[in-house]
Amino acid sequence: MWQAMCRLLSEHFGEAELSNKVILSGGDIHNTLKIDYGDHTVFIKQNRREFLPLFKQEAEQLEMLAKSQTITVPKVYGLGSNKHHSFLLLEYFPLKSFDNTNAWHFGQQLARLHQWEEQPSYGFDFDTMLSTTVQPNAWEKRWNTFFAEKRIGLQLQIASEKGMIFGDIQNLVDIVKDRLAGHQPQPSLLHGDLWPANCAMTNQLDGVLYDPACYWGDRECDIAMLPLYKDIPIQIIDGYQSVWPLPAGFLDRQPLYQLYFLLNQANIFGNEQSYLQARSIVDRLLEEH
């Protein structure tokens, strides 16, 4: 595996020595480490051979985010596999936590990413992953149909298969579709899984995104996640609003968008708090319908 990595890195940096292998913590799915290749520090994700298609998808999403030229993402140095393992080679960043000042700057960069227009429809060229859950991304012209069916409907179906019944799935999908019927936002390129483990600041005070779950959708989906995590300062939203204010009705739609992530956490991790939060949102939707 190391020989294959060196071969790919030599295409970027020329021949150099590989040194200082350090295993990193925090990877929920993949093994993560960093190495020095000559004067360059490289971040490595490694897993079993069958994960190679997921690494390829991640590389393509990072390259799409980079294409926007609005916010920093790790450069992709290559990906490959041997008989037993696959790996993804990325640019390594020393990262800083958010504070009130740099959070404002990150929010501005996120708004500029969302302003980037390239698609008239909602979806993506391939299905992506929200953690370990597939996100179906077949292109759709109507936002309410895309979100209700491909996001909420799917998560409710998964929950049902795990014994978590929130109600009649088709009825709930129809309610969500109805709630979003008058909302047809510009499709924005979303990070798709914007929580504290997937965004930070570099030492140069640039916002950086990684571990994406991209698709073209309503920008409010990225923003709606932020209040779920106390580790992300509210100044991100203030900075965002200074560049591209959120439209009227965002606070009414926010619980719908949070429901998607809460259901996913309950489905993957059996998280009781996420389940109870999701249940509260569903009960409110049923009461108001």
The per-residue pLDDT for 206 is 86
DSSP string, 242-270: HHSPPPTTHHHHHHHHHHHHHHHHHHHH-
**165-178 confidence digits (pLDDT tens):** 999 999 999 999 99
Q: What residues contact residue 83 under an 8 Å CB cut-off, 6+ apart?
A: 49
144 residue type, one letter: N
Selecting among 125, 178, 193, 222, the annotated active-site residue is 193
Q: For position 268, what pLDDT does the model report?
A: 94
CB atoms under 10 Å from CB of 117, counted, come to 12
Please report the domains of the chain, with CATH numbers, ordered by start residue.
Answer: 1-91 (3.30.200.20), 100-288 (3.90.1200.10)
Query: Mean pLDDT in the chain?
Result: 94
60-106 residue pLDDT tens: 999 999 999 999 999 999 999 988 899 999 999 999 889 888 999 99
Q: What is the DSSP letter of 74?
A: P
Strands (E), the chain: 18-24, 31-37, 40-48, 76-81, 85-91, 95-96, 128-130, 133-135, 188-190, 199-202, 207-209, 215-217
With b for 16 or more beta-carbon neighbours within 10 A and e for fewer, the 36-54 pattern comes to bbeeeebbbbbbeeebbeb
Sheet holding 199-202, edge to edge: 95-96, 199-202, 207-209
Q: What is the pLDDT of residue 79?
A: 95
Q: Name the residue among 205, 215, 69 with its Cα closest to residue 151.
A: 215
For residue 67, what pLDDT is reported?
96
pLDDT over 90 for what percent of the chain? 82
Q: What would the mean pLDDT of 39-52 be, rounded to a whole number?
A: 95
- The answer to whether the beta carbons of residues 179 and 256 sit under 8 Å apart is yes
Q: pLDDT (tens digit, 9 = 90+) per residue, 237-284? A: 999 999 999 999 999 999 999 999 999 999 999 889 999 999 999 999
Helix axes 250-269, 169-179, angle to 10 degrees: 150
Return the SS3 of 202.
strand
- The whole-angstrom separation of Cα 35 and Cα 23 is 9
pLDDT-derived band at 224, boundaries 50, 70, 90 = very high
Q: Please report the pLDDT score of residue 205 as a whole number.
A: 77
Is 0.75 surpassed by the pTM of this model? yes
Q: How confident is the model at residue 29 (pLDDT cuts 50, 70, 90)?
A: confident
Instruction: Specify burial of residue 218 (Cβ count, 10 A radius: 0-12, 13-18, 19+).
Output: buried
- Asked if 193 is an active-site residue, the reply is yes
Among candidate residues 151, 198, 139, 207, the one with its CA nearest the CA of residue 176:
151
Q: How crowded is residue 84: how many other Cβ atoms within 10 Å of its Cβ? A: 8
